[in-house]
Amino acid sequence: MNALTTSRLLLRPIIPQDWLALKKITRDFAASPYWMYDYPFPSEDEKLKAIASHFSKTGTFLSVLLKETGEMIGYICLHDDGESIDIGYCFHSSFHRQGYAGEALCFLMELMHQNLHVQAFTAGTAMRNIPSVSLLKKLGFALLYTEPTSFHKDENGKDIVFEGGRFIKKMI
């Protein structure tokens, strides 16, 4: 996939050199109250380099950069599950509530609908992650179901369980 542009953003496949920006974004997320609601990222440089290299080979992870400065502000994952495209995303908190995630996701979904005839998109997030739930609803996603979910353990080794929501957006 070549680079794609919106009015403010550049979207392109993650490349191995993005590891440092990925580190900044994932550390920022790990410091947020929402860290417990997603897969943990390693903090070691070598492991992050390996992840960025792996992401670059899959073609399913996109870097989201500010068009004006070239700074990577987030990433998006697209996974074809056979019936729909499942989307995931993470943006540095310095760029929250400015419309960047919505702009990137809306653009990608419309492009994939028009060019690849994708009929539905899915996404998952913790129901307590109000900003993420709000973004999905703003983009036209509807809640399909909720289920107990866990990605982390507490200090006693017990799962930290939360209500995970599964959302869908059907394209018209």
How is the chain split into domains, by residue range? 4-170
pLDDT value at residue 1: 65
Q: Between 3.40.630.30, 1.25.40.10, 3.40.50.300, 3.40.710.10, what CATH number should domain 4-170 receive?
A: 3.40.630.30
The pLDDT value given to residue 157? 93
Is-above-0.85 flag for pTM?
Answer: yes
In terms of Cβ atoms closer than 10 Å to its own Cβ (0-12, 13-18, 19+), residue 59 is: exposed
Backbone angles phi, psi at 48, to 5 degrees: -70, -35
Query: What's the pLDDT at 40?
Result: 83
Quote the CA–CA distance of 14 and 131 in Å, as a whole number.
25
Long-range Cβ pairs for the range 87-92 (8 Å, 24+): 87/121, 87/122, 87/123, 88/123, 88/124, 90/25, 90/26, 90/29, 90/38, 91/25, 91/64, 92/24, 92/25, 92/28
At residue 62, the pLDDT reads 96
Question: In the prediction, which pLDDT does 36 show?
Answer: 85
* pLDDT value, residue 47: 93
Task: From 27, 95, 34, select the one nearest 64 (Cα to Cα).
Answer: 95
Predicted local distance difference test score (pLDDT) of residue 43: 83
Q: Mean pLDDT by 10-residue block, N- to C-terminus, for the chain (172 residues)?
A: 90 96 93 88 91 92 96 96 92 96 97 94 96 96 96 92 96 88
